[in-house]
Amino acid sequence: MQERVSVLSQTPTAFRMLARDLNRVPEAGLSHLRVVAFSGEPLDGHILQPWFARFGDDHPILVNLYALTETSGEITFHRVRASEPTANERVIGVPLPDVQLFLMDEHRRLVADGEIGELYVGGPAVALGYLGADEADEQRFLVNHIKEDGSRMYRTGDMARRLPDGTYQFTGRSDRQVKVRGYRIEPASVEGVLRTHDSVIDAVVLPDDQAGIVAGLAAFVVLHHRDAFPDRLRDHLSASVPHYAIPDRIFAIDRIPQTATGKLDTAALLAMRSQDSVSEESRELQNEVPFGTDAGNVAATIEQIWCQLLQRNTIARDEDFFDLGGHSLLTLNLVLMLEEKLGVDISMTDVFENPSLGQLSTFVSDRLKAARTPAQLPPPAKATLVNPARADGHVEHMRVAISKAREAIANGQPPYAACLVRNGRVLVAVHNVIWRDVDPTAHAEVTAIREACRLLGTMDLSDCVLYSTAEPCSMCLSATAWANIRTVVYSARMEDEERYGLSSATVPVATMVSLLGREIAIVPDCLRTEMQTLFEDWLRIKALAI
Which amino acid is present at 427? L
| Helical segments of 296-443, H only | 297-310, 328-342, 348-353, 357-370, 388-392, 395-410, 434-437
Q: At what angle do helices 297-310 and 328-342 cross, to 10 degrees?
A: 140
Cα distance between residue 431 and residue 538, in whole Å: 14
Give pLDDT, residue 295: 41
Q: What is the pLDDT of residue 176?
A: 67
Phi, psi dihedrals of residue 95, rounded to the nearest 5°: -70, 145
Cβ-based neighbour number of residue 289 at 10 Å: 8
On the CB side of 37, CA atoms within 13 Å amount to 16
Q: Could you tell me if residue 347 is left (phi over 0), alpha (psi between -120 and 50 degrees) or otherwise beta?
A: beta
Catalytic residues: 445
- Quote the pLDDT of residue 445: 93
Longest dimension (CA), the chain: 74
State residue 461's pLDDT score.
Answer: 94
Question: pLDDT at position 375, please?
Answer: 43
> What is the model's pLDDT at position 370?
74
Q: What is the pLDDT of residue 40?
A: 74
Contact call for residues 31 and 57 (beta carbons, < 8 A): no
Closest alpha carbon to 400 in 309, 491, 506, 321: 491
Task: Please name the residue ranges forming H helices in 118-265.
Answer: 134-140, 187-195, 233-238
pLDDT digits over 303-324, tens only?
Answer: 888 888 887 778 888 888 888 8
3-class secondary structure per residue, 238-251: HCCCCHHHCCCEEE
Quote the CA–CA distance of 499 and 503 in Å, as a whole number.
9
CB 504 within 8 A of CB 541: no
**What is the value of pTM for the model shown?**
0.43
Rounded to whole angstroms, how far apart are CA atoms 459 and 149? 57
CA-nearest of 256, 364, 236 to 305 is 364
Q: Which among 40, 124, 89, 29 has a CA at the least distance from the CA of 542?
A: 40
Decide: helix, strand or coil at residue 319.
Answer: coil
The torsion angles phi and psi of 430, rounded to 5 degrees, stand at -140, 160
Helix, strand, coil abundance in the chain, percent, nearest 5: 35, 25, 40
Q: Could you tell me the CA-to-CA distances from 283 to 18, 279, 287, 291, 308 in Å, in that order?
A: 40, 6, 8, 15, 16
Cα(302)–Cα(334) distance, rounded to whole angstroms?
A: 9
Domains observed in the chain: 7-173 (3.40.50.12780), 178-274 (3.30.300.30), 298-372 (1.10.1200.10), 388-545 (3.40.140.10)
pLDDT of residue 95: 93
CA distance 405 to 396: 15
Query: What are the residue ranges in the chain where pLDDT is below 70?
Result: 1-2, 13-14, 16-29, 44-47, 85-89, 175-177, 179, 181-184, 209-215, 226-231, 259-263, 274-296, 371-392, 434-441, 504-505, 542-546
